[in-house]
Structure 1
Amino acid sequence: MSVLATIYAPGKLLVSIVGRNQGDLVVETVKRAGARGGTVLLGRGTAENRILRLLCLGDTEKDLVLTLAPAGEMPAIIKALRDKGGPARKAPGIGFVIDVSGILRHILPGSGGPAPQPSITATGENMSAQASHQLICVIVNAGYADDVMNAARAAGATGGTIINARGTGREEDVKFFGITIVPEKEFLMVLAEKASAPDILEAIRRTPSLNEPGIGIAFCMDVESFFPLGRAAGQS
């Protein structure tokens, strides 16, 4: 009997942001193109009206779909999403790709999959130089994401997506750091052009509501590609 082997191979993460209840159309499309599935998260958009009209995103409730795939399979998946005749044509929105240093996968020995990797190593050295956008991620206590988004917008951001989440701080962590860790969190994602990302991140850092220790953290990463989806893609 064949035994599954676990490997660690480079890959890509496709993030698709579409209207509420349209995430299943994205998952259906990416699976047809070879992806093994997708994870749908619920969020809300914060884009200004002009951007909403440009992307045909009239609602503020969003489905955020995460799709992991080997690097070689991602072009076909993106092509399927942007196909005007595919299921995702009814799900206007945006998509972008982030380089992933590795994905844990199960394969059958001798199936032709990549050889197991002995350790986790970073990849995508060339991607940073090619990236035109950056994804700014901010995790804050519940109720602060709108303040952060307002600061980001004042620095040039056109919008963002907020996802409700929760922290996992333990009681002993609270006592050790001397701050109150609020379980309810908000996860804000802001996609920005690479040239403007530092100013936006600095504006976020200076947000008055974030001056209190323990309110939140922020980080950013390069985005490999950025494109419209659905009817918005047809208008590009």
Structure 2
Amino acid sequence: MNNQSLFISVLNRGKAEEFLNEMRIFDLTGGIVMLGEGTATNRLLQILGLAETQKEIIILPIFDSKFEDPIHEMMLHHFQVDKRRKGIAFSIPISYLGAESVLPKDKMYDPACFFSQCIFAVVDEGQGQQVMKHVQATGQTGGTIIHARGAGVPSDSYFPFKIEPQKDIVMILVKTERVKTVQNYLNEKMNFSDPRKGIIFTLPVSRVTGIFQG
């Protein structure tokens, strides 16, 4: 079976359509484009009010591993993600991710064997920046905030319709040896032990293309 992965790219606003056009070269269609914002730690940009940059986040499943290397090379040469503020791309392996009750142990990925991982924190709208401040306090240099919606009906609701509160999804690339430090700090500061405060989880990253200092 081919190793399958989830390709995620964060590019400056307006670049998603160009990316999807490039994917037609590989005969790959579909994918999801979401709006978000990048965060910068540059002091001058913060003073000028330019610390947040508008981003487009592209999520594309890759079902054949033969495409992964060419796509990452394309990101490097066409979108120049090796230069500052141009974007970043990374892959999350999905072939063998699953519960032990579903997959035998020798078919599961051990996240510790990967050089880096991606931390996802889902919080109420407006709290994404607070998460990023805590992330930066641990020494991390940045991340991406995706704007989304939650869905569900509270158990004490008297109304027969779904409530869809706005959510911020914070995405941070971190070196594996620092994941526990960052995640534990966020758990403490954001009180994620209370389910009403949000959730946090990590996924392994098999490849990163672009500037990454996590």
TM-score if structure 1 supplies the norm length? 0.70
**1:167 aligned to 2:161?**
no
Taking the TM superposition and a 5 Å limit, the aligned residue runs for 1:136-175 are 136-171=119-154, 173-174=155-156
* Structure 2 portions without partners, runs of 5+: 97-101, 158-162
Q: Give the structure 2 partner of residue 80 of structure 1.
A: 74
1:226 aligned to 2:208? Answer: yes
Query: 1:26: which partner in 2?
Result: 19
Secondary structure of 2:132's counterpart equals helix
What secondary structure sits across from 2:4 in the alignment? Answer: strand
Task: Tell me which of 184, 191, 206 is aligned to 2:166.
Answer: 184
Helix, strand or coil: the match of 1:72? Answer: helix
Name the SS for the 2:70 alignment partner.
helix
Counterpart of 2:160?
none
Query: Percent of aligned pairs with the same residue?
Result: 27
In the TM superposition, residue 157 of structure 1 has moved relative to its aligned partner by 1.7
Corresponding residue of 1:43: 36
**Structure 1 residues 216-225 or 59-68, which shifts more?**
59-68
Deviation at 1:147, TM superposition (A): 1.4
Task: Give the partner amino acid of 1:143.
Answer: G
SS in 2 for 1:48: coil
Is the partner of 2:94 in helix, strand or coil? strand
Query: How far did residue 80 of structure 1 move?
Result: 2.4
In the aligned structure 2, how far is the partner of 1:182 from the partner of 1:36? 29
Tell which structure's C-alpha radius of gyration is larger: 1
Residue in structure 2 matched with residue 109 of structure 1 by the alignment = none
Q: 1:132 is matched with which residue: 105, 115, 123?
A: 115
When residues 58 and 81 of structure 1 are mapped into structure 2, their CA distance, relative to the original with a 3 A threshold, is farther
Unaligned residue ranges in structure 1 (runs of 5+): 1-7, 103-119, 176-180
2:104 matches 1:98: no
Would you identify which runs of 4 or more consecutive aligned residues in structure 1 move more than 6 Å? none
CA distance in 1, matches of 2:92, 2:190: 30
Distance 2:112 2:58 in 1: 26
Give the Å deviation of 1:210.
5.2
Q: How far does residue 223 in structure 1 lie from its aligned partner after superposition?
A: 0.6
